[in-house]
Amino acid sequence: MIVMKFGGTSVESAGAIERVAGIVRSRLERHPVVVVSAMGKTTNKLLEIARTAISGKREEFLRLIHDLRAFHSREARLVVPLADRAELDRTLDDIFQELTELVKGLAVVGELTPRVTDAISSYGERLSSYIVTLAFRHFGLPAKHIDSRRVIVTDRRHTHASPHFEETYRRLNNVIAPLANDQVVVMGGFIGATEEGVTSTLGRGGSDFTAAIVGAGIGAEEIQIWTDVDGMLTADPTIFPGGHRVKTISFAEAAELAYFGAKVLHPATVVPAVEKNIPVLILNSRRPDVEGTRIVSERVPCANAVKSIACKRRITVVNIHSNSMLMAHGFLRRIFEIFERHETAVDMVSTSEVSVSLTIDNAERLDLIRAELERFSDVQLEPGQTIICLVGDNIRYTPGVAARIFGALGSVNARMISQGASLLNLSFVIDDADVRRTVAALHHEFFRDLDASVFE
């Protein structure tokens, strides 16, 4: 068995879904279980509908829902057999009726809780998985739709829930594995339900995570993440378009890259895959013949010190200064307790005797955090910053990497420099305005000569 996950762009239209059916058909003998994201930008649109509802713009949210229905209906009709059209229309009616009721209720209440956010954003994957199932049948595949909320059991941390692995694996093994023998199971990524049956989601980009959970649960021999790029590249193509494909990378390196912003893989994805030692492949659904990137458990020897450069943009640096910190112990604990209480993850930290600088990605609760910190320290915030992170297992064995980085940076001011505890990353913070030229300069420095066994 293998798991094949197709991201939003890979199922964004009738044409894209037809391509996906072809890719799945060519791998039928490996017993694929298919995980799909919402079609195109549907999740963003659903969240926009929710925001419009709480600001009381009734006409607008009704129009947005109407457009979303028209989009799904138009694309689906092109890939659903005539005989199934009536069922399709009925199901779309039901689903959109339910969504409309929910959003109208939200408009009355006027407050968007995480739980309601999940209820609304779940519709994307519920729709796409249903439509892809009908389309697969149209293209001759023995497809079977399974509602992910029946098998992915999560905690109640809505909008970023974590699975209860034991129970989820038990259900996947009981429900999905037997079906996959002679059918192509199609499930929505990203969504799950709490033990009480309340809809939850695994966080933005979470369909990759679903694929890894399903792979681990059914004991898949491989997890394939099909997306819109040729694989993991040496730099984020939206920031630096001239990157090369990385043919093989280790789990540890991939995890580091994902954590520091390489959106091509959700950071949590590698955890279940590593635990069960299942290789993960990143592949391009528009160019299925390209070999992609293979993520493996062992080290990947490479003549280049760096394998890829990741950027985490729009982060905030929090500088905390306190004279009472001098020679005092327990100070860091006090600081981190505040961040923990507000469920705000800290990515990078650097300290001196009387000050601590740290970076956060999610500034939602920053006002509250700041107020608490200011009870015992001076706080200064710098929004609009970027973490640049160079990843490569060889960084630790190669002398002079830092000197090369700072040589390449020229006049760009780098701060909070840190070599990660894992020793396979070197990161620092720059102003967001300097990102493009910095990545271009670093790419030139580290990928001028390529180890042909690792890069293409």
Question: Which residues, in sequence order, are bridge partners of residue 360?
Answer: 316, 346
Closest approach of ligand ADP to the CB of residue 11, in Å: 9
**What are the helix (H) ranges across 112-162?**
114-121, 123-138
Q: Residue 204 and residue 285: Cα distance in Å, rounded?
A: 21
Decide which of ligand ADP, Mg ion, ligand ASP, none touches 385; Cβ closer than 5 to 8 Å per partner kind. none
Give the per-residue contact string, 5-44, with Mg ion (x = CB under 5 A; - = no): --x-------------------------------------
190 binds ligand ASP (CB under 6 A): yes
Closest among 21, 38, 30, 36 to 80, alpha carbons compared = 21
Give the per-residue contact string, 306-325, with ligand ADP (x = CB under 6 A; - = no): --x-----------------
**Using H for helix, E for strand and C for coil, what is the string for 180-244?**
CCCCEEEEECCEEEECCCCEEECCCCCHHHHHHHHHHHHCCCEEEEEECCCCCECECCCCCCCCC
Decide which of ligand ADP, Mg ion, ligand ASP, none touches 43; Cβ closer than 5 to 8 Å per partner kind. ligand ASP
Q: Residue 275 and residue 455: Cα distance in Å, rounded?
A: 26
Contact (Cβ atoms closer than 8 angstroms) between residue 395 and residue 446: no
36 binds ligand ADP (CB under 6 A): no
Of 16-24, 79-87, 147-155, 236-244, the window that binds ligand ADP (rule: CB under 6 A) is 236-244
User: Among 97, 113, 238, 323, which residue sits at the site for ligand ADP (rule: CB under 6 A)?
Assistant: 238
229 binds ligand ADP (CB under 6 A): yes
427 binds ligand ADP (CB under 6 A): no
Q: Residue 138 and residue 140: Cα distance in Å, rounded?
A: 5
Contact (Cβ atoms closer than 8 angstroms) between residue 429 and residue 387: yes
Of residues 25 through 64, those in contact with ligand ASP by CB under 6 A are: 37-38, 43
Angle between helices 123-138 and 114-121 (to 10 degrees): 20
User: Among 4, 7, 119, 146, which residue sits at the site for ligand ADP (rule: CB under 6 A)?
Assistant: 7
204 binds ligand ASP (CB under 6 A): yes
Q: Residue 217 and residue 347: Cα distance in Å, rounded?
A: 30
Using DSSP, state whether 158 is helix, strand or coil. Answer: coil
Contact (Cβ atoms closer than 8 angstroms) between residue 49 and residue 96: no
User: Among 32, 189, 205, 261, which residue sits at the site for Mg ion (rule: CB under 5 A)?
Assistant: 205
- Token code pair at residue 246: 């990385």
35 binds ligand ADP (CB under 6 A): no
96 binds ligand ASP (CB under 6 A): no
Amino acid at 336: F
Q: Residue 302 and residue 300: Cα distance in Å, rounded?
A: 6
Of 85-93, 140-148, 206-214, 426-434, the window that binds ligand ASP (rule: CB under 6 A) is 206-214
Tell me whether residue 205 or residue 217 sits nearer to Mg ion (CB atom).
Answer: 205
342 binds ligand ASP (CB under 6 A): no
Positions in the binding site for ligand ADP (CB under 6 A): 7-10, 37, 205, 227-229, 232-233, 236-238, 262-264, 308
Site for ligand ASP, rule CB under 6 A: 7-8, 37-38, 43, 124, 189-190, 204-208
List residues near Mg ion by CB under 5 A: 7, 205
